[in-house]
């Protein structure tokens, strides 16, 4: 391997691994690759606002939930959502569900898109949108 290739490999090696999990093997630390779900905290929009809600599987590359939802109600710690049947026309009935604000986040350059952490369980919706 040439010197340039070795330098490029050293440069890119750290970007392939994160420090979230460690596997110890004979005094050698191997950092496993794990993408973090990070973003801005959930913003409280007005009741009745339509939002695109997304949840990814644990590998964070495949969409598990991708639906337009309406904000129905807020509490101190949770939000009641209803899937908007005007956009999701394949649903035969109204679906409402609560989600804690702690599992909701948004990304910096996206407007009215809310993400749900991959480990969160959405009761009543899992069977409708499960990939």
Q: What is the pLDDT of residues 1-40, one digit of tens each?
A: 566 566 655 665 555 554 444 455 555 554 444 455 667 8
Taking all residues of the chain, what is their mean pLDDT, rounded to a whole number? Answer: 75
Q: Report the C-alpha dihedral over residues 29, 33, 34, 36, rounded to 10 degrees.
A: 100
> Are 30 and 22 spatial neighbours (Cβ–Cβ below 8 Å)?
yes
Residues listed for the chain: 131
Q: Give the per-residue pLDDT at 7.
A: 62
How far is residue 14 from each of residues 11, 21, 70, 83, measured CA to CA in Å? Answer: 7, 14, 41, 41
Q: What is the pLDDT of residues 47-56, one digit of tens each?
A: 999 999 988 8
**Domain spans in the chain, listed from the N-terminal domain onward:** 3-32, 40-129
> Are 118 and 64 spatial neighbours (Cβ–Cβ below 8 Å)?
yes
Summarize the confidence of residues 53-70 as an average pLDDT.
Answer: 82
Q: pLDDT at residue 70 above 80?
A: yes
What is the rounded distance in angstroms from the CA atom of residue 14 to the CA atom of residue 74? 42
Q: Give the per-residue pLDDT at 89.
A: 82
Global confidence as pTM: 0.66
What is the rounded distance in angstroms from the CA atom of residue 131 to the CA atom of residue 128? 9
Sequence-ordered list of residues with C-beta below 8 angstroms from that of 47, at least 6 positions apart, any chain: 71, 72, 73, 74
């Amino acid at each position: 391997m040439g010197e340039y290739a070795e330098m490029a490999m050293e440069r890119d090696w750290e970007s392939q691994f994160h420090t979230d999990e460690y596997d110890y093997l004979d005094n050698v630390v191997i950092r496993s690759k794990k993408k973090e779900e990070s973003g801005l905290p959930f913003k409280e929009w007005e009741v009745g606002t339509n939002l695109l809600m997304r949840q990814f599987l644990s590998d964070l590359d495949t969409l598990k939930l991708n639906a337009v939802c309406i904000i129905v109600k807020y509490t101190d710690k949770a939000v009641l959502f209803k899937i908007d049947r005007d956009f999701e026309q394949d649903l035969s009935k109204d679906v409402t569900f609560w989600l804690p604000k702690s599992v909701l986040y948004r990304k910096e350059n996206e407007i009215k898109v809310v993400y749900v952490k991959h480990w969160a369980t959405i009761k009543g919706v899992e069977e409708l949108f499960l990939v």
